[in-house]
Amino acid sequence: MHLGSFGRPWLLVSLLAGVTVSLVAHAAGDPALGKKKFYTCYGCHGVPNYRNAYPDYRVPKLRHQHAAYIVAALQEYQAGTRSHPTMHAQASSLSEQDMQDIAAYLQGPEPIQPTTTMVGRMPPQVQVCAACHGANGTGVAAPLVPKPPILAGQHEDYLIQALNEYRAGRRIHPGMSPEDYVRENPIMMGMAASLKTEADVRTVAHWFATQRSPLATATADSR
Ligand code: HEC
Ligand code: HEC
């Protein structure tokens, strides 16, 4: 379902009902504007296998990632609760509307739908992740908040990096203390409880990275 196609009737209804119009601005981004605003981002995210230096890992694939997750990630970088100096600088220049527009552009009109196809035999460590990410990393049908990101087809070294950031308690939501996050966010609890060793981290990262999905590098001509 494309939220954009809802924009106008909703605006009309809101006006008739006297509801504030700023609600509509939050509802959906404009993908055409988002493509323009993504201009400075192509230098890293538009180059296949482009690498972050120190530590060395590939920058995440963003094309077709869920819009709600992209907005959340940008807010976390902006707030500094997800620490990465370059992405903090990038996100700091973005308004809330810029984030929505960019996210709408990256996700595209058809969000990735959960599938059940699996490549290979699912390792036992993945069992606990399936409830939110789907066994193959393409997600689940349930409308979860916060929206879990697509993991299928993401770069393996990036997934390892991300998981180790969570294990170290370095990715938290804006306004949350690390203590709140561990208490209130089942993700961190689930991961901390289940991924005990670096070998476990590598096993799940390899699994999700090798599953099929439309997640891709956001090159300028990608759709
Ligand atoms: C100099 C390279 C560089 C540029 C330019 C850049 N990024 Fe990033 N981006 C990265 C790296 C590296 C990461 C992974 C950081 C981490 O480990 O958290 C990242 C992560 C992200 C994520 C999180 C993805 C996920 O799966 O969690 C989003 C969203 C994102 N960038 C969007 C943008 C946008 C939008 C722009 C332009 C306004 C941008 N980036 C510009 C290097 C860059
Ligand atoms: C209760 C739901 C839930 C469970 C269970 C869960 N996750 Fe997540 N996961 C999420 C949500 C929500 C996010 C986004 C959080 C954020 O914004 O940082 C996330 C983010 C991630 C990311 C970051 C991806 C990126 O692009 O940066 C990775 C990697 C990940 N999860 C892997 C796992 C693995 C591996 C497991 C099982 C060991 C797991 N998750 C279990 C909900 C869940």
What is the Å distance from ligand 2's center to 221 Cα? 29
CA–CA distance from 121 to each of 127, 191, 193, 215 (Å)? 12, 21, 22, 21
What is the Å distance from ligand 1's center to 8 Cα? 31
- Picking from 158, 149, 150, the residue whose alpha carbon sits closest to that of residue 49 is 158
What is the Å distance from ligand 2's center to 165 Cα? 11
Answer whether 198's CB lies under 8 Å from 42's CB. Answer: no
Distance CA 157, CA 58 (A): 6
Distance CA 130, CA 26 (A): 30
Ligand 2 pocket member 191 (CB < 6 A) = yes
Task: Give the ligand with the smallest distance to the CA of 91.
Answer: 1
Ligand 1 atom nearest residue 77's Cα: 18
Distance CA 57, CA 132 (A): 25
Written as tens digits, the pLDDT of the chain (223 aa) is 343 333 333 333 333 333 333 333 345 899 999 999 999 999 999 999 999 988 999 999 999 999 999 999 999 899 888 889 999 999 999 999 999 999 999 999 999 999 999 999 999 999 989 999 999 999 999 998 889 999 999 999 999 999 888 877 777 665 666 566 555 555 655 565 578 899 999 999 999 999 999 999 999 999 8
Ligand 2 pocket member 123 (CB < 6 A) = no
- Picking from 37, 40, 29, 21, the residue whose alpha carbon sits closest to that of residue 4 is 29
Residues with CB under 6 A from ligand 1: 40-41, 43-45, 52, 59-60, 62, 70, 73-74, 82, 84, 86-87, 90, 102, 149, 161
By alpha-carbon position, which residue is closest to atom 5 of ligand 1?
41
Distance CA 162, CA 212 (A): 20
Answer whether 130's CB lies under 8 Å from 144's CB. Answer: no
